[in-house]
Amino acid sequence: MAEITLQDIIKPENLVYKKTDLMTDKPLSYCPGCGHGTAHRITMEVIEELNLAEDTIGVAPVGCSVLAYEFMNVDMTQAAHGRAPAVATGIKRVWPNKVVFTYQGDGDLAAIGTSETIHACNRGENIVIIFINNGIYGMTGGQMAPTTLPGMKSSTSPYGRDVAMMGNPLKMTELVAQLPGTYFVTRQAVHTPAAVRKAKKAIKKAFENQRDCKPGLSFIEIVSNCNSGWKMTPTDANKWMEENMFPFYPMGDIKVDGQLVK
Amino acid sequence: MAKVRGAIVVDVEKCKGCGVCLPACPTDVIDLASEVNGKGYHYAFMNQPDECIGCSNCAIVCPDGVITVYKVKLNR
Amino acid sequence: MGELKLMKGNEALAEAAIRAGADAYFGYPITPQSEVIEYLMAEKPHERTGMVVLQAESEIAAINMVYGAAGAGKKVMTSSSSPGISLKQEGISYIAGAELPCLYVNVVRGGPGLGTIQPSQADYFQSTKGGGHGDYRQIVLAPASVQEMSDFVKEGFDLAFKYRIPVLILSDGVIGQMMEKVELFDPIPRWTDEEAIANSPWATTGKKNGTERRIITSLDLDSHKMEEHNIKLQEKYKEITKNEVRYELIDCDDAEYIFVAYGSSARIAQKAVQLARAKGIKAGLFRLITLFPFPTVKMREMCGKGIKGFLAVEMSAGQMVEDVMLAVRGCAKVEHFGRYGGIVHTPEEVLAALEQKIIGG
């Protein structure tokens, strides 16, 4: 066997993976190891693969991903806190042939924007909602979120979430799956290569549903980490997520093609 | 029998040294450098380049999208 | 001559929205303006023109639907009444910050809080001084008739797109609920998608290959850029103040006393002018049509021409009167009169106030 050098391998014709051009070159504002970047990238990869970029309008939330429009290289609108599903409704209703998605965190979608989320789902708006659940308010510095686990520590539940006093975590995804207006509801993760591949498949299905005018909203929860908020290294955070978040927020499809599967 | 060789190129200045790519690599190619980049991060690099099979796992989980992957098939 | 009809103010406004080529209306019912969405739903504008009408889950959702659709370059509007308008303020601030064109309507009722469903003009401060957070202004048109409820829809959309600014039609329960003859303007076709894209190249309509993407946002974490943006907004407001002041002067040529009023109060004050003149008092009416921009220059100019006093007549505890004082700057007497909390004053009360507070005072 002839020796092969790195120079021989690193050639354009041997390229197998590079960041999509639908992600800008701006360095991401997220903490090291944060799942937001991966979720952004696979969303944009799907839009590229489905050749939808020219017809896509995204809606960014308030939260860590408030600047999503700096990184996603498509037309974007930044919405007020929690209002992204209403903003997306407005866009989709006046541009029914465009592809409209929101990208929201758990504070945005599951606390202040609960009403907008549930009603957009219940009306069956033909949009995609990508919901990043990391169990905490990341941007404001690690406060308790509606999705914070029982007993989980945050800066506003420093001794752990006391359910009797602070209430229960909200499983938005199970909740919206019950509404007749949702067509596809799934929960995914992006912390391992296998998880990313699955999540991307789900996102692709969601955008295909919209493109093909399937009746209803496609809702994708991505359970993610917040190593800064959880005060762990990125790899420890991913491990902790598997051990603690996944049992409470189980992975997999909940509703497919308008039918509950779980 | 065909053997596969791969290589990754890390955008060193954009790498945040999170290390998420390390456990994703099936052949333990990647490590974090002892040196730091301009932002002070210990960036990812191919510590054992001969082992890389170009599977793209590292690039797929990289939150910052800083890894580009190349792959060739070698005929022996 | 356009089509003549006997209509409620709220209905005329709704009909005008369809005729003005609006692409969408997003609203939520509240008294005394629910006829707007009721009329629209009954008229099936989706069949007449393709206009979207959607009853949102809240006023908050409705204004954010407006934000989304306006950011996508379409002609959109919402309407509500005072408590509902308070809920919309966050969205309006975002719309102003992101410089989006839209039309919204407040059919004002008495407050504060849930207040009453009866007419009021107590939302003047909210309408002209901001309402939501941040240094922003909006164009405020004050209709005094059912005719103007119709006409201002068309004019409002034109101004909104000319300046990329939210335009508010500040009506009240009287004008919204009263029936009058109205001459409807001829329908304007809705913009085609191509026209909408051409009219608003800044809008999010899908990034075409090789073009820069469009971003609708009110956020900039770089304070220097944020200040620049604010300066740009202020320049725009100056331009509007220079170009778009609208008012009507009635019997002011020889007047010694001026009623300053807008909306339904202006109708009442006009009768008070007649009552005053019958008694030999030389009164006139300065009817404001735009509340922002306020006709400061004209009012100041009138001061030096034999005017002895201004009576600000408004259904509030005294809000517009502050702008009259700022315009007049002490060169004539300025007083306020108005009933509030849902009570509409009579022409006799207005005249009596002039006699007591300005002439006799």
For C280-311, write each residue's pLDDT tens digit.
999 999 999 999 999 999 999 998 788 999 99
Mean pLDDT score across all residues of chain C? 97
Q: Which fold has domain C247-359?
A: Rossmann fold (3.40.50)
- Per-domain boundaries in chain A: 28-260
Quick one: pLDDT at residue C305?
Answer: 85
Q: Which residues of C touch A119 (CB under 8 A)?
A: 56-57, 61
CA–CA distances in Å: residue B5 to residues A130, A209, B27, B57, B71: 36, 38, 12, 14, 6
Neighbours of B (≥3 Cβ pairs closer than 8 A)? A
Radius of gyration of chain B (CA): 13
> A-contacting residues of C 2-61, CB under 8 Å?
23-24, 26, 52, 54, 56-58, 60-61
Report the neighbours of C using a cutoff of 3 or more CB pairs below 8 angstroms. A
Q: What is the pLDDT of residue B76?
A: 63
Instruction: Give mean pLDDT, residues A214-234.
Output: 97
> How far does C29 lie from chain A, in Å, by closest CA?
16
| Residue A259 to chain C, least CA–CA distance (Å) | 25
Q: Which of A1, A14, A196 sits opposite B71 (nearest CB)?
A: A14
Strands of the sheet containing C76-80, edge to edge, are: C52-55, C24-27, C76-80, C102-108, C166-172, C139-141, C290-292
DSSP C206-236: ---TTSPPPEE----S-HHHHHHHHHHHHHH
Measure in Å the smallest separation between the Cα of B35 and chain A Cα atoms: 17
Under CATH, to which class is C3-196 assigned?
alpha beta
Chain A positions in Cβ-Cβ contact with residue B20 (cut-off 8 Å):
33, 191, 234-235, 238
CA C72 vs CA A116, A130, A251, C197: distances in Å: 19, 21, 35, 9
Q: Which of A8, A17, A28 sits opposite B68 (nearest CB)?
A: A17
> Are the Cβ atoms of C66 and A90 closer than 8 angstroms?
yes
Pick the residue of C214, C216, C225 with the most A CBs within 10 A to test the interface with A by mutation.
C216
User: Is C291 an interface residue toward A (CB < 8 Å)?
Assistant: no
For residue C190, the number of C-alpha atoms closer than 13 Å in the C-beta half-sphere is 20
Average pLDDT value over all residues in chain A = 97
State pTM to two decimals.
0.97
Distance from CA of C124 to the nearest CA of A (A): 25
Average pLDDT on B26-38 reads 97
Answer whether residue A192 shows pLDDT above 60.
Answer: yes
**pLDDT (average), residues A228-251:** 97
Strand stretches in C173-293, DSSP E: 179-184, 215-216, 247-250, 257-261, 283-288, 290-292
Q: What pLDDT does A195 receive?
A: 98
Residues from chain C that touch A73, judged by Cβ atoms under 8 A, are 207, 213
- Cβ distance of A19 and B3 shorter than 8 Å: no
Count contacts between A and B (CB, < 8 Å).
104
**Quick one: pLDDT band at residue C130, thresholds 50, 70, 90?**
confident
Report domain B2-75's class.
alpha beta
What one-letter code names the amino acid at A147? T
Interfacial C residues in 78-97 facing A (CB < 8 Å):
90-91, 94
| pLDDT value for C265 | 98
Stretch C195-212: mean pLDDT, rounded?
94
pLDDT tens per residue, range A53-110 = 999 999 999 999 999 999 999 999 999 999 999 999 999 999 999 999 999 999 999 9
Confidence band of C225 (pLDDT split at 50, 70, 90): very high
Answer yes or no: do B69 and A18 touch at CB < 8 A: yes
- At residue B70's C-alpha, the angle toward residues B67 and B73, to 5°, is 155
CA distance C298 to C310: 13
C3-196 and C247-359 share one fold: yes
Segment B14-37 shows an average pLDDT of 97
Give the pLDDT score at A101: 98
Interface of A to B at Cβ within 8 Å reads 1-2, 4, 6, 8-11, 14-20, 23, 27-28, 30-38, 41, 190-193, 196-197, 233-235, 238
The interface predicted TM-score of the complex, written ipTM, equals 0.96
Phi/psi at C66 (5° precision): -60, -45
Position A54, amino acid: E
Closest CA to C22 of C108, C105, C144: C105
Q: Do chains C and B have 3 or more beta-carbon pairs under 8 angstroms?
A: no
Collapsing DSSP to helix, strand or coil, C79 comes out as: strand
Quote the CA–CA distance of B23 and A234 in Å, as a whole number.
11
Write out the two tokens for A53.
Answer: 């970029």
CATH number assigned to the domain covering A28-260: 3.40.50.970
Distance CA C112, CA C89 (A): 15
Name the DSSP class of C107: E
- Average pLDDT, stretch C140-166? 98
Q: In what order do the strands lie in the sheet with A75-78?
A: A259-260, A252-256, A182-189, A217-223, A128-133, A99-105, A56-60, A75-78, C215-216
**Closest alpha carbon within chain A to B26:** A193
**B34 vs chain A: nearest CA distance in angstroms?**
17
Residues from chain A contacting residue C225 (CB–CB below 8 Å): none
Q: Which tens digits make up the pLDDT trace of A129-180? A: 999 999 999 999 999 999 999 999 999 999 999 999 999 999 999 999 999 9
Domain segments of chain C as ranges: 3-196, 247-359
Chain-centre distance for alpha carbon A194: 17
Instruction: Find which of C67, C191, C212, C221 to mutate to test the A interface (most A CBs within 10 Å of its CB).
Output: C67
**Chain B residues with CB-CB distance to A15 below 8 A:** 68-70
Q: Residue C158: which of C126, C193, C185, C123 has the closest Cα?
A: C185
pLDDT of the residue at B2: 65
| Residue C177 CA, distance from chain mean position | 16
Q: Is B44 helix (H, G, I), strand (E, B) or coil?
A: strand
Judging contact as 3 or more Cβ pairs under 8 Å, the answer for C and A is yes
Across the interface, do B20 and A30 touch by the CB < 8 Å criterion?
Answer: no
Counting Cβ atoms within 10 Å, is residue A26 exposed (0-12), middle (13-18) or buried (19+)?
Answer: exposed
- Pair of tokens at residue C144: 């005094």
3-state SS of A35-83 is HHHHHHHHHHHHHHHCCCHHHEEEEECCCHHHHHHHHECCEEEECCCCC
Percent of chain C surpassing pLDDT 70: 100
Chain A residues within an 8 Å CB radius of B18: 32-34, 234-235
| pLDDT tier, A236 (very low <50, low <70, confident <90, very high otherwise) | very high
